[in-house]
Structure 1
């Protein structure tokens, strides 16, 4: 199976022409009875060997982390060691030189990127904790926030270096996630023990989520036909932005407090419809998937309220499952109905609804 990135690489290498690549995309789209742009492709597997190498890489990285953890100094009694994260990061970079840069394997590249950035953040966080002292960090939001902020900044720099070397699409999202951690750390450092900190954090998380979403839309707008690696970058950014937007919205609505009234459940369903319209307009399903758990909970509460206690879970699954399958089956038609009434200036920044075989 060939991805859009493979076609892009083949065109750049002169193996096939841009017209031939466009014709191939149109042929595949026609054989599937749906425009290729609506398929929301991203490269995860190139074959079973990806799974095989991915499993082997995870086993090796766990072993390296375990061995590194045995090297002092450690946090607390037998706690984590900074050498554990550093060893994982170095090993992941070394493996990426072969499996990512030379073999271009999809799943191992994702695993190695996450291991590298995670290892750098862990090494930075554990090192700073050792320097400051665990006792000083206890019940000290300012110092804890500073450690989180510094670790996030170092992780973002590591992601940038990885992107410059390997250009794995998920790297941009990993760097953005590190910057989100930097933002949360700085806010905690500035506010300390301010009353209502949790609600402020939720609101700030929503702002960061909207920022990541707009950044993802910038990448999407640069590739409205979904034919290059930029579309893959946007996919992972949307996947990061979705929970950052959805969780604060539903938490501020009170849905995470253990119960949902009829009014709250109705508001949740209306918000989900709004998210669905947004997902159709931008042709990304991440928002719908991220909000799914909240909607299931809200519908379940509604069915319980109206007496269907025994079948509440089954009825909830039936309604949501049927709705999502219908939406998937008629995604393109529904998307056309949402996008066409929009102003031309806004439509031009969205993924195209119809695509023809052009260079």
Structure 2
């Protein structure tokens, strides 16, 4: 594949020249012939916000236009009508910028805008009859999730599932709020993530995190070579799942205090590191960086005082993350060889020469 890269295959899929199954088959055949690990792209977890400054320029214009629509609704006090107008506009713009032009950043902005206008429309309808309650928020979140699934099916935009997940998080927190859980912005992050401080919202975060993680894994296993929208969709779900899971458990353990709390936090971060390597997603490890920084002074008390402690922590943490990032593929290959067979092991990204689906 010296003259034909993964990016060419992704472009062929995006343009409709190949479907996703054909693209995976083509890549698998080529990698079987050449050796998978030696011919993986340098960036084995592809992610792209925008392709050029023109996308930023278009996105700024769309933000200004949609902000004007929202402002028009505030002036005219026509929440429902303006909300519907906003949904129509974002959908029509997506037909051009997402379906035809395939511009990343404008497409992401339009998906987020569609979700905002959809939520505003539903809440405006409820507000016409009575005061908004938790039930109204739950219904709004449910409608929002359905709406984003329809949007995803229509435009096949991976970022749509991030907005879908936000609606899911709103639903979980609304349900927990109706169960009597209290939350104040002044309690953040304890009020959101500490199981001992406010169990309602913390449990909700954990439930949401595991649900998003399971859905992300489902998308990952549909695209082990990470060349289609399934992998990108899984990426956005893991971005939501990682902080919800890692922060909830780690913060609870840290706040339990004492040597036992720190030891359990260290064990958790070790497990998170192994999990990140197995599923080949760096998001979970990124979510735990702050807790690594807390553990380093505890493990090296002789260097933990004052400015010296901060510098020492930064040096160790920077070296650790840089080493993991630099030798991620090699470490993962060694780990996956070491681990016994487990369900779906062969549906995660390849890690040995000649491995295929």
Under a length normalisation based on structure 2, what TM-score does the superposition of the two structures give?
A: 0.80
1:10 & 1:319 partners in 2: Cα distance? Answer: 45
2:72, 2:82 within 8 Å by CA — same for their partners in 1?
A: yes
Matched, 1:267 2:249: no
2:308 & 2:82 partners in 1: Cα distance? Answer: 49
Q: Secondary structure at the match of 2:99?
A: coil
Q: Secondary structure at the match of 2:153?
A: helix
Q: CA 1:296 to 1:147, structure 2 compared with 1: closer, same or farther past 3 Å?
A: farther
Give CA deviations for 1:304-331 in whole Å, capped at 9, x if unaligned.
Answer: 7865212232222211111011011111
Partner of 2:219: 219
1:155 & 1:349 partners in 2: Cα distance? Answer: 31
Deviates more, 1:174-183 or 1:281-290: 174-183
2:177, 2:200 within 8 Å by CA — same for their partners in 1?
A: no
Partner of 1:105: 103
**Within-5 A mapping of 1:84-163:** 85-133=83-131, 143=133, 145-163=134-152
Partner of 1:177: 166
2:70, 2:82 within 8 Å by CA — same for their partners in 1?
A: yes
1:36 Cα deviation from its structure 2 partner: 3.2
2:145 & 2:301 partners in 1: Cα distance? Answer: 45
Q: CA 1:71 to 1:292, structure 2 compared with 1: closer, same or farther past 3 Å?
A: farther
Deviates more, 1:280-289 or 1:51-60: 51-60
Q: Secondary structure at the match of 1:108?
A: helix
1:338 & 1:59 partners in 2: Cα distance? Answer: 49
Partner of 2:329: 332
- Among 38, 44, 49, the residue aligned to 1:39: 44
2:158, 2:230 within 8 Å by CA — same for their partners in 1?
A: yes
1:182 & 1:294 partners in 2: Cα distance? Answer: 28
Deviates more, 1:300-309 or 1:63-72: 300-309
Partner of 2:234: 234
Partner of 1:243: 243
Partner of 1:296: 293
Q: Secondary structure at the match of 2:214?
A: helix
Q: Secondary structure at the match of 1:348?
A: helix
1:231 Cα deviation from its structure 2 partner: 1.0
Unmatched tracts of structure 1, length 5 or more: 74-80, 138-142
2:324 & 2:197 partners in 1: Cα distance? Answer: 39
2:203 & 2:307 partners in 1: Cα distance? Answer: 37
Partner of 1:67: 72
Unmatched tracts of structure 2, length 5 or more: 184-195
1:211 Cα deviation from its structure 2 partner: 1.7
Q: CA 1:310 to 1:37, structure 2 compared with 1: closer, same or farther past 3 Å?
A: closer
1:324 & 1:212 partners in 2: Cα distance? Answer: 25
1:11 & 1:60 partners in 2: Cα distance? Answer: 30
Q: CA 1:171 to 1:4, structure 2 compared with 1: closer, same or farther past 3 Å?
A: farther
1:49 & 1:356 partners in 2: Cα distance? Answer: 41
Partner of 1:164: 153
1:265, 1:299 within 8 Å by CA — same for their partners in 2?
A: no
1:11 & 1:95 partners in 2: Cα distance? Answer: 20
Partner of 1:50: 55
1:46 & 1:209 partners in 2: Cα distance? Answer: 30
1:55 Cα deviation from its structure 2 partner: 1.9
1:43 Cα deviation from its structure 2 partner: 3.5
Q: CA 1:310 to 1:211, structure 2 compared with 1: closer, same or farther past 3 Å?
A: same
Partner of 1:22: 27
